[in-house]
Amino acid sequence: MQSLYKSNIVRNMPPYLFAHIQKKKQKLMEQGSDVIDLGIGAPDLPPPSYIIEELSKHIKNRHLHRYSPYQGIPELRQAVATFYQEKYNVTLDPEEEILILIGSKEGLVHLIQSVINPGDKVILPDPGYPVYKMGVHMTQGRAVYLPLDKNKEYKPNWKMLSEQDKEEAKLLFLNYPNNPTGATAQKETFVKAVQIANKYNICIAHDAAYDHVTFSDYKSPSLLQVDGAKKVGVELGSLSKNFNMTGWRIGYIVGNSSVIQALATLKSNIDTSQFIPVQIAAIKALEQSEDEIRTIHHTMEKRMLKTWKLLKNAGFEVKKTKGTIFLWVKVPKGYTSSSFTEQVLDQAHVIVTPGSAFGEQGEGFFRIALTVPEERLIEAVQRIDSWLNGGK
């Protein structure tokens, strides 16, 4: 009887990536096992204190507990515009080219619904964030996969797209710094994407969720720094990873005014943006200098370097990253991505994510989220190494 209340879209939706893993984790914990979870990319570090203090100050104002303007408060949209001007030298119109999101995840899904019709093709990176695929499924579109070349630092392999797919595609997703691989991009990657988008009339959506989670002297470029990008593209930003604000659910989308207004129309019939004090606290975050933002991620960079070194010493094939909160590691010989991660959980009581969960091109790899203290990362690698070497 209950199946009568499930749409075909939901009925045909695969289980959430971590549902099976979390069930096994819970069972092991109930048996008294100590499980180290390096699966979900949720930072364990808190937001900077000045952001929390800003929220605390404004949450007491009884006049701010009303509905927000559906496009987000004007002050936050202006702060996003200033942020882009200062960080990227990109000029944005806060009224027409910026929309506040309840986290970029909902923005990704609603963007797809705003741009494509059932049956339309959407080009997705492979490996890539699974939400892209689910968003296309929910809109009854057709996913076309753009392989990211592991031999060229996971840059798009444009030659693998057929002429027909490029002609029929309505939307193209890119994501740098990249989840799951940790790969970063230079401006040239976006220049090529804009050229293709212009030629084939494709809308580009760049998911820049990790654009300021960067290490050393690397600075992530913006899609909108490319000449003509605003004519064909939008960029989604998030405060979740950049400022350790995952639970606050606040982000934004900027760029092509036509796309922004289409999404605004859809969202005005679904939600009324985020709680106003959260938006005000987001302004405080965006007002910080480049150096201040980088200090937030010093701990993550230290964890990355330490874990990378330990994995290398244990014989794993893995590269240092310039950004994100992940390491992308080749599985040992004799295992698939899934069989390896299942065994790591069963035998070493460590959760890592199979690369195959992110697409066909992810097979042969696993992803580590650097989202526990350094001593737990050390222990996790030691457990995996000990298991692989027969407990020696």
Along the 392 residues of the chain, how does pLDDT read in single tens digits?
A: 456 788 999 999 887 777 778 888 889 889 999 999 999 899 999 999 999 999 999 999 999 999 999 999 999 999 999 999 999 999 999 999 999 999 999 999 999 999 999 999 999 999 999 999 999 999 999 999 999 999 999 999 999 999 999 999 999 999 999 999 999 999 999 999 999 999 999 999 999 999 999 999 999 999 999 999 999 999 999 999 999 999 999 999 999 999 999 999 999 999 999 999 999 999 999 999 988 998 999 999 999 999 999 999 999 999 999 999 999 999 999 999 999 999 999 999 999 999 999 999 999 999 999 999 999 999 999 999 999 998 54
pTM above 0.85, yes or no: yes
Q: What is the pLDDT of residue 1?
A: 46
Q: What is the pLDDT of residue 2?
A: 57
Q: Give yes or no for a contact between 250 and 80, defined as CB atoms under 8 angstroms apart.
A: no
Share in percent of the chain as helix, strand, coil (round to 5): 50, 15, 35
Q: Give yes or no for a contact between 190 and 225, defined as CB atoms under 8 angstroms apart.
A: yes
| Fold held by 2-46+295-388 | Aspartate Aminotransferase, domain 1 (3.90.1150)
Q: Which residues pair with 323 in a beta bridge?
A: 214
Domain with CATH 3.40.640.10 in the chain: 49-289
Domain with CATH 3.90.1150.10 in the chain: 2-46+295-388
- Residue 345 makes CB contacts below 8 A (sequence gap 6+) with 21, 24, 25, 28, 35, 351
Please tell me what DSSP assigns to residue 344: I
Q: What is the pLDDT of residue 100?
A: 99
Q: Which residues pair with 294 in a beta bridge?
A: none
Q: What is the pLDDT of residue 266?
A: 98
**267 CB burial (10 A radius; 0-12, 13-18, 19+):** buried
CATH of 49-289, one of 3.40.640.10, 1.10.3720.10, 3.30.420.40, 3.40.50.720: 3.40.640.10
- CA Rg value for the chain: 21
Residue 208, SS3 per DSSP: coil
